[in-house]
Amino acid sequence: MNQQQRSALLHSSSLFPPPPGVKLSYGTAGFRADASLLESTVFRVGILAALRSIQTGSVIGLMITASHNQVSDNGVKIADPSGGMLTQLWEPFADAIANAPDPNSLLQLLDDFVKKENITLEGGPAARVLLGRDTRPSGASLVEAAKQGITCITGGTAIDVGVLTTPQLHWMVRAKNKGVEASEHHYYDQIVTSFSYLMDNIPRENSSKDVNDKLIVDGADGVGGEKLEKLKSSLKYLSIDVRNYGDGVLNEGVGADYVQKEKVVPRGFGPSDAGIRCASLDGDADRLVYFSVLSNSNKIDLVDGDKILSLFALFLKEQLRILDDKANTSSYKASLGVVQTAYANGASTEYLKQLGLEVVLTPTGVKYLHEKAAEYDIGIYFEANGHGTILFSETFLSWLENINNELSSTSKGSDQHKAASNLLAVSKLINQAVGDALSGLLLVEAILQHMGWSIQKWNELYQDLPSRQLKVKVVDRTAVITGNAETVVVSPVGIQEAIDAEIAKYTKGRCFVRPSGTEDVVRVYAEASTQEAADSLAHSVMVIVHQFLWF
Ligand code: 16G
Ligand code: MG
């Protein structure tokens, strides 16, 4: 690092002192805290993004959002060149620089890291970072802090793309690095075109009365609602009523997280919506759940991420089967895999296995699911909380393009041709970079129309097992070490045996504990054949956690 670069870093970082006594961690989804504490962190993440851009010779994304957290919080995370999450290898460095106490120690850390990672600061490619933010009021000033961080690396350019959903920013990073058009307009163009294509391909006999074109969407008073409100008029065959698109307080009694956890209607919904298909986005529109309002009540029937996954899996499996029926296509056995976490309802896992699908579990957090799903030709991943997407391998997509062209000349309009083009349209509609509530919603809508299913019919695919989640405050949650995709506790020794002994008392009992990645608690999840049993199992295990960890 030359002298000019050193002084630029020292000078700029002295303008962004870290708040005293605050320790931040990159966690499962970037840094998050009260917005007033974040300027220094965001400035430093700007530096980090610039270094990552130089190292990879690619465009990097930096998103300012705290997703479903309250409006006074904010956060920052990085999108890697593929559009996915920042490589896990850099997370410890992110933690280290965020917590460096003063400009000199920050400079020392950067100097060491640049050497260790062979990052060429002079004469190599210049850093380019796309900067996006959600609708939080604190976003604008944090974007300025990020710009200072990016541009204090010599030659660094910050490209401010304004207010976007998190998945839009990830999509843009991916598109830019593939050398294709990457504006917000192109994002809409791609999803609207592929959605229309899928809708036009629907077998006429399925356009039944069971499924109507009306959908009500809770926009969480965030960026997703705002964007959908603008997008909806370009969507053929679908009439969307967007509520909570920015007129109320972000995430307050609204949004996918609220709806999924509380299982009640979000603000602005009520008994008069009973029976209508409803969906809810989270604050940065990377999570999606569906629900229907029960009559004469504020309670809902929740259709969660597991059911969205099941719907997608069913549809894709069917398209692959139709395609496979064609004897004279050059055969390609596409691998189809489903990725869940331990939070997936046991009934969903059983249902998917009964369909003959390969189901694997990973630890909680999108980065783990995404990585696993990328191992298949078609990898579908979802967390129960509504975050997920479908990944297509390059090899499979190029085979599909060829077959589609071949079928288009030999048997245009045949079932096989439609199946091939449906699969291609899904790969364009669904965000390949990260879970995306807007594109996920359009795919759900297209598939429901295709099947001719109402939300009730969809919800009946299987019956969720009753479950209960609890939080336990402990002295040190890092003392809990889990294994086997968080399904067992490895340490403290003896706790798993105690949990197993409890589980054995319940029919269809299943229970696991894990330290939260976003809150200072240990989480308990329990499932059993009745709600009372699930509650009781969760409670007994909470007591065990206390016994082992409250010392
Ligand atoms: C983060 C993760 C989400 C996970 C949640 C678990 C991303 C983008 N988000 O929000 O996938 O479900 O953390 O929270 O990775 P917990 O560790 O507090 O239970
Ligand atoms: Mg989110």
Is 436 annotated in some ligand binding site? Answer: no
User: Does 13 lie in the same domain as 144?
Assistant: yes
Amino acid at 535: D
User: Does 322 lie in the same domain as 289?
Assistant: no
* From 12, 40, 67, 439, the catalytic residue: 67
Q: Is the CB of 523 under 6 A from ligand 1?
A: yes
pLDDT, tens only, 172-219: 999 999 999 999 999 999 999 999 999 999 876 665 556 788 999 999
Kindly state whether residue 443 falls inside one of the protein's structural domains: no
Kindly state whether residue 455 falls inside one of the protein's structural domains: no
Q: Is the CB of 81 under 6 A from ligand 1?
A: no
User: Does 204 lie in the same domain as 117?
Assistant: no
Per DSSP, the three-state class of 338 is: strand
The parent domain of residue 228 ranges over 198-305
Q: Is the CB of 260 under 6 A from ligand 1?
A: no
pLDDT, tens only, 259-295: 999 999 999 999 999 999 999 999 999 999 999 999 9
Is 385 annotated in some ligand binding site? Answer: yes
Number of independent structural domains in the chain: 4
Sign of CA dihedral 509, 491, 484, 340: positive
User: Does 98 lie in the same domain as 67?
Assistant: yes
User: Does 379 lie in the same domain as 240?
Assistant: no
Question: For residues 551 and 28, which has the higher predicted lDDT (pLDDT)?
Answer: 28
* pLDDT band of 130, cuts 50, 70, 90: very high
DSSP sequence for 48-117: HHHHHHHHHTSEEEEEE--TTS-TTEEEEEEE-TTSSBPPGGGHHHHHHHHT--SHHHHHHHHHHHHHHT
Nearest to 334, CA basis, from 377, 379, 390, 398:
377
Residue where one domain finishes, among candidates 250, 270, 305? 305
* pLDDT band of 27, cuts 50, 70, 90: confident
Q: What is the mean pLDDT of residues 119-130?
A: 92
pLDDT at 330 over 80: no
Per DSSP, the three-state class of 419 is: helix
| Ligand 1 centroid – CA 516 distance (Å) | 8
Kindly state whether residue 114 falls inside one of the protein's structural domains: yes
Q: What is the mean pLDDT of residues 98-119?
A: 97
Kindly state whether residue 126 falls inside one of the protein's structural domains: yes
Q: Is the CB of 536 under 6 A from ligand 1?
A: no
* pLDDT band of 550, cuts 50, 70, 90: confident
Going by CA atoms, what residue is nearest to atom 19 of ligand 1?
Answer: 516
User: Does 471 lie in the same domain as 396?
Assistant: no
Please say whether the beta carbons of 263 and 293 come within 8 A: no
Q: Is the CB of 69 under 6 A from ligand 1?
A: no
- 504-510 contact pairs (CB < 8 A, 24+): 505/537, 506/533, 506/536, 506/537, 507/533, 508/346, 508/465, 509/533, 509/537, 510/346
Q: What is the mean pLDDT of residues 6-34?
A: 93
What pLDDT does 212 receive? 81
Is 515 annotated in some ligand binding site? Answer: yes
Amino acid at 117: E
Q: Where are the alpha helices (DSSP H) in 179-222?
A: 184-200
Say which DSSP state 335 is in.
-
Going by CA atoms, what residue is nearest to atom 3 of ligand 1?
Answer: 365
pLDDT at 403 over 70: yes
Answer yes or no: 67 catalytic. Answer: yes
pLDDT, tens only, 487-541: 999 999 999 999 999 999 999 999 999 999 888 899 999 999 999 999 999 999 9
Kindly state whether residue 86 falls inside one of the protein's structural domains: yes
Is 518 annotated in some ligand binding site? Answer: yes
Q: Which ligand 1 atom minimizes the distance to the CA of 385? A: 12
What pLDDT does 519 receive? 83
| Ligand 1 centroid – CA 107 distance (Å) | 31
Going by CA atoms, what residue is nearest to atom 10 of ligand 1?
Answer: 29
User: Does 320 lie in the same domain as 299?
Assistant: no
Q: What is the mean pLDDT of residues 331-352?
A: 95
Q: What is the dihedral of CA 250, 256, 261, 266, to 10 degrees?
A: 60
Q: Which ligand 1 atom minimizes the distance to the CA of 517? A: 17
| Ligand 1 centroid – CA 15 distance (Å) | 32
Q: What is the Cα–Cα distance from 302 to 244, expressed in whole angstroms?
A: 19
What are the structure tokens assigned to 494, written together? 């003896």
* pLDDT band of 123, cuts 50, 70, 90: confident
